């Protein structure tokens, strides 16, 4: 059974810092891995999608890497801003689950606070 762990659970940094959020998963048989952002009381916003054949994906100040063999992904946020404050969730899409093509397994997230 796929289990996802995100470290740290919470992080507080001053504005402008570069930071890394970590995600580990136990089953390397995945289609892809998505990183999401969730603001309080809101839905999930997709940030990046890394296919299982890719090593990394970039969007603006965000860079996500994937090492499928070791079951690890990282989300790098450059030059953090107060508007980046949110919960960040990673979710690998598992292959073997009753035929579902895109079942996402979620970690509990990292709560990020960027102080102005």
Any idea of the CA torsion for 109, 83, 74, 37, to the nearest 10 degrees? 40
Binding-site string for another protein from residue 8 to residue 47, where x marks contact by CB under 8 A and - marks none:
-----------------------xx-x-x----xxxxxx-
Judged by CB, which is closer to another protein: 13, or 111?
A: 111
103 binds another protein (CB under 8 A): yes
Closest among 21, 33, 24 to 3, alpha carbons compared:
24
Judged by CB, which is closer to another protein: 84, or 109?
A: 109
DSSP H or E segment with residue 26: none
Judged by CB, which is closer to another protein: 71, or 109?
A: 109
Reading the block at residue 18, the tokens are 């570069």
């Amino acid at each position: 059974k796929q289990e996802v762990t995100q470290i740290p659970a919470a992080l507080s940094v001053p504005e402008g810092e570069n930071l890394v959020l970590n995600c580990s998963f136990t089953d390397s048989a995945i289609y892809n891995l998505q990183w999401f952002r969730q603001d309080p009381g809101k839905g999930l916003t997709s940030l990046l999608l890394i296919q299982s054949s890719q090593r990394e994906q970039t969007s603006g100040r965000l860079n996500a890497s994937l090492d499928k063999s070791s079951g690890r992904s990282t989300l790098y946020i450059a030059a953090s801003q107060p508007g980046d404050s949110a919960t960040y969730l990673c979710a690998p899409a598992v292959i073997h689950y009753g035929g579902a093509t895109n079942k996402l397994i979620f970690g509990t997230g990292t709560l990020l606070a960027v102080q102005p």
